[in-house]
Homo-oligomer: A and B are copies of this chain.
Amino acid sequence: MLSKNRIKYINSLKIKKYRQLSQAFIVEGTKSVLELLDSDFTVEFVLATTEFQQKYSTISSQHKTLFETVTLQELQGLGSFQTNDSCLAVAKTKQNDFLCAENNEYVLVLDDVSDPGNLGTIIRIADWYGIKKIICSETTTDLYNPKVIAASKGSFTRVDLFYTCLPVYLAENAKSAMVGGAFLGGESLYDFSFSSKGGYIVMGNESNGVGAEVEAFVTHRITIPRFGEAESLNVGIATAVILDNMRRQMGAELKA
């Protein structure tokens, strides 16, 4: 039986202010909770149905002290989480002190990505294409928003995010690096040569694109070729297409 305090605590974590105060966040759904338990996040507790614990008995006995048995009704009563099936966990947030591109690495930079679904999708795409670090403007939506965590499909456990003031960060850390940005009217993505030294790939806000202050640091303006009439692509889609072209090219260079 869930205590009132625990219900109150979980509900508070839907709000950024309380996530920051408690330094904790919610993870829901089987896939995400299993990936969380397999990661280096510190888990506070897992609420799971008897069925879940029977189905994943090895994992639930391995983390026995973390588990509390609840009914499906209790889980569903916890709120507006659409993906919640048979488990919900609360874990401690992690704050990365500093992240930058190292050893021919490509790093994503997000300037004011505001939709939680988009940020979660971008984290999942980064994970698919082997991008380990994402540098976010302070205006980019909070990683620990339950919708971001849900949309990342467990990839939040493998990709690190660092929130910072982008103009200051880029001035200090991207001096001699390639900083590619997605813009209309730039060089065709198909002709663009990604530097084998790695660098930064900047994606902008859903409505306004990359802001002027960040644009000043962009060394290469890249455009995704268009063959039809849609005015634009969603920022998640654009990120995937750019990373796919980068990896295809890098792969070819490795083989050559």
Binding site for B on A (CB under 8 A): 31, 121, 124-132, 153-155, 158, 190, 224-234, 236-237, 240-241, 244-245, 247-248, 251-252
Stoichiometry, copies per complex: 2
Q: With A240-B240, A240-B241 as known contacts, state yes or no: A247 contacts B234, CB within 8 Å.
A: no
Q: List 17 A-B contacts (CB under 8 A).
A: A31-B231, A121-B237, A124-B230, A124-B233, A126-B228, A127-B228, A128-B227, A128-B228, A128-B230, A128-B233, A131-B228, A155-B229, A158-B229, A190-B251, A241-B241, A244-B244, A245-B248
> Is the pair A233, B228 in contact by a Cβ cutoff of 8 Å?
no
Chain B nearest Cβ from A97, distance in angstroms: 23
> Is the pair A153, B244 in contact by a Cβ cutoff of 8 Å?
no
Residues in B whose Cβ lies below 8 Å from that of A240: 233, 237, 240-241
- Identify which of B127, B226, B230 contacts A230 (C-beta below 8 A): B127
Name the residue of chain B whose CB is nearest to the CB of A226. Answer: B128
> Is the pair B121, A229 in contact by a Cβ cutoff of 8 Å?
no
